[in-house]
Amino acid sequence: MEQGLIAELLQQYVDRQAPTVKLRVRVYLALRHAIIDRSLSPGTKLPSTRALASELGMGRNTVVRAYEQLLVEGYLEGRIGDGTYVSEAVSSGLKAPAQRPPVDAGRQTLSHRGRAVAASVCSSIVQRGAFMPGIPDVDLFPFSIWRRLLAKYLRVEQSHLLNYSHTAYGPLRVALASYLRITRMMHVDPKQVVIVNGSHQAIDLCARMLADHGERAWIEDPGYWGARNVLAAAGLQVTPIPVDEKGIAPTIVDWSLPPRLIFTSPSSQYPTGTVLSLERRLQLLERADIADSWIIEDDYDNELRYHERPLASLFGLSDKQRVIYLGTFSKVMFPGMRLAYLVVPEGLIDAFVTGTSELHRGGRLPEQAALAEFIDEGYFTSHVKRMRGVYAERRDVLKEAMHAHLGNAVSPSGGHGGLQLLYRFHQALDDERIAADALAEGIICRPLSMYYLDREQRQPGLNLGFAAVPAERIGPAAATLAAIIERHLGRSR
């Protein structure tokens, strides 16, 4: 192939790559794709790095590094004094592309579990903007401090932190045990703290270590769809338990078929914001012990309280050690961190440490080390205090704006803590249609109905996140959303 045509061909491949990907990676991927799909056949001579860089309008080093990587991987071969060629070995290692229809990820391809997961899409590809719930304002995170701490542990002297780890980073477990003792009245040994990669992995670990396939798991209804999907994917029979103004409300009939696992967020139920009453907490602990059930206490945003101090954690109240406490840094620091932790009863320590190592492998020790210092040096507490003030102001701005536009047509739920407010409709509106209309106008919100597993109990409403929206932008966005809701109210009359 003529050298100029090769440059034009590669430019097309480069343009297909996402612009956010580094240029050298885009060039590498472009060359590799062209070789794999036979656009550049074995034995084809490539332009010199200088010539190709000139044709593509980029620095020579960018092309040099792409060539070097492909030479190492065997896609290219260098001939001394003659240039660089597509390796002849590629012809024996790759079959010619066959003309066949794409694989249909349907009944014959996916497992029963895989089909269930694929059919239960609830997460959104849009993760920022008014009023995406559950998202903190990452722009206000102290990046300079975090960058300095992380850099401290990404050095040759700390290379031991780059290996696999059977257990979590010791100082982080100590820091978390001390933090929980002060903030949640939980007296735990650091050995009881198990570090995992996010709350979903934590829930999955609990399901696999404590329940067998087909056993029953209770979830709050409405409740967090992520927990529902993880428990179902682990092979458990997920049973919805209604939530009222006092929190999760299992009946005597429900207890007649006791669960193996109970997933609950007692400090700030998601999405309603309801706080589980002390009476209900004590009842839940007593009956779980009788039924030999394990309680997974999701305390996902406990740090973000705006009023009274929270009630004691279920873990702290339990004297029978039937509770596994789940905490995360996604809400108060940043979601992409993907670090969470479990506090397990003493009798489960060895099993959970081994389970984490065998099922998921330990790692990310530099981040754990940086986080331990972030907590010990007081940066974590300072950030929490600052964000409480910022989020409380934004919550109030949202409440005032929605009331000004809609009055008593909607009513807020929760707001004592967390990153979002739930608004319930007093008429039978199509909240999914309202959310779709809002998205078309650049407003993100989640319909309350999507949080229900029991379709007969569904109620309409919208879950609105305020934390990641600057106060000055909340009013205009609320006005746009209110106008959409008013249109639907007019149609229902």
pLDDT for the residue numbered 302: 81
pLDDT by residue for the chain (493 residues), tens digit each? Answer: 666 678 788 888 777 776 767 888 888 888 888 888 788 888 888 888 888 888 888 888 888 888 888 887 788 888 877 888 888 876 655 554 444 555 555 556 777 777 777 766 665 555 667 888 888 999 999 999 999 999 999 987 888 888 877 778 889 999 999 999 988 889 999 999 999 999 999 999 999 999 999 999 999 999 998 999 999 999 999 999 999 999 999 999 999 999 999 999 999 999 999 999 989 999 999 999 999 999 999 998 888 888 766 677 899 888 888 999 999 998 999 988 889 999 999 999 999 999 998 888 878 889 999 999 999 999 999 999 999 999 999 999 999 999 999 998 899 988 888 899 999 998 888 999 998 898 888 888 899 999 999 988 899 999 999 999 999 999 999 999 999 999 988 866 5
Q: Which amino acid is at 198?
A: G
pLDDT for the residue numbered 96: 47
Interior CA angle at 164 toward 373 and 300, to 5°? 50
**Could you tell me if 423 and 402 are in contact, meaning their C-beta atoms sit under 8 angstroms apart?**
yes
Provide φ and ψ at 485, rounded to 5°. -60, -40
| Cα separation, 420 vs 41, whole angstroms | 55
Three-class DSSP category at 75: coil
Do you find a cis peptide bond into 271, omega within 30 degrees of 0?
yes
| Cα separation, 452 vs 225, whole angstroms | 8
Three-class DSSP category at 108: coil
pLDDT for the residue numbered 212: 95
**Could you tell me if 325 and 316 are in contact, meaning their C-beta atoms sit under 8 angstroms apart?**
no
CA dihedral 147, 149, 153, 154 (to 10 degrees): 10
Q: Quick count: other Cβ atoms within 10 Å of Cβ 491?
A: 10
**Could you tell me if 294 and 322 are in contact, meaning their C-beta atoms sit under 8 angstroms apart?**
yes
pTM: 0.76
CA dihedral 129, 130, 132, 135 (to 10 degrees): 70
| Cα separation, 31 vs 39, whole angstroms | 10
Q: Quick count: other Cβ atoms within 10 Å of Cβ 255?
A: 15
